[in-house]
């Protein structure tokens, strides 16, 4: 398990993002960087990605099996409509006292064996990898904010102009 920051995603030196099972990205904030979104596509969906490190030639590196990205921003990255790589959820819960998180972490680790034991027995026979992925309201919002600003403004103007006018809908 490795931890990364948004700056690590924008860096030329990307070797530290790979060769791990899980990559947790803290405080994702790359919405203004289309090249980061495009780079992440490979890191999320491919077995290997090109990586660079100081004084080493560009080379292939094993990508993480799972990536988590956390953010307090409403628009932390770009997502194109139809992109199946992302699942987005939002939590509006208030922060709890530190003792709660300590207990959750410690008791959660105690339960990890039971969780791992349950996984191979879980019935996934109804899973359809060809089916459209679920799209949350949070993901729809990011997709909408990912469109060009001119498109967003024109759509807002059209809605404002047509508001209340059933004949133009």
Instruction: State the Cα angle at 60 between 35 and 14, rounded to 5°.
Output: 45
Residue 168 confidence (pLDDT) above 80: no
SS3 per-residue string spanning the chain: CEEEEHHHHHCCCCHHHCCCCEEEEECCCCCCCHHHHHHHHHHHHCCEEEEEECCEEEEEEECCCEEEECCCCCCCCCCCCCCCCCCCCCCCCCCCCHHHHHHHHHHHHHHHHHHHHHHHHCCCCCCCCCCCCCCCHHHHHHHHHHCCHHHHHHHHHHHHHHCCCHHHC
Over residues 106-126, the mean pLDDT reads: 91
Over residues 51-64, the mean pLDDT reads: 93
pLDDT interval class at 167 (50, 70, 90) = low
pLDDT digits (tens, 9 = 90+) for 82-91: 898 999 999 8
Distance, CA of 38 to CA of 130 (rounded, Å): 23
Q: What is the pLDDT of residue 47?
A: 96
Residue 164 confidence (pLDDT) above 80: no
């Amino acid at each position: 398990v490795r931890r990364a920051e948004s700056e690590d995603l924008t860096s030329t030196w990307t070797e530290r993002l790979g060769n791990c099972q899980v990559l947790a990205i803290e405080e994702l904030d790359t919405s203004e960087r289309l090249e980061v979104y495009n780079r992440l596509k490979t890191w999320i969906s491919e077995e290997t990605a090109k990586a660079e490190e100081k004084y080493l030639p560009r080379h292939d590196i094993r990508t993480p099996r799972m990536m988590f990205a956390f953010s307090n921003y409403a628009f932390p990255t770009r997502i194109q409509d139809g992109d199946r790589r992302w699942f987005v959820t939002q939590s509006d819960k208030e922060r709890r006292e530190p003792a709660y998180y300590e207990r959750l972490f410690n008791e959660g680790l105690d339960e990890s064996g039971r969780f791992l034991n349950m996984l191979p027995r879980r019935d996934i026979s109804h899973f359809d990898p060809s089916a459209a992925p679920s799209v949350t309201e949070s993901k729809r919002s990011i997709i909408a904010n990912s469109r060009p600003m001119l498109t967003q403004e024109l759509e807002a103007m059209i809605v404002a102009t047509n508001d209340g006018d059933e004949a133009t809908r």
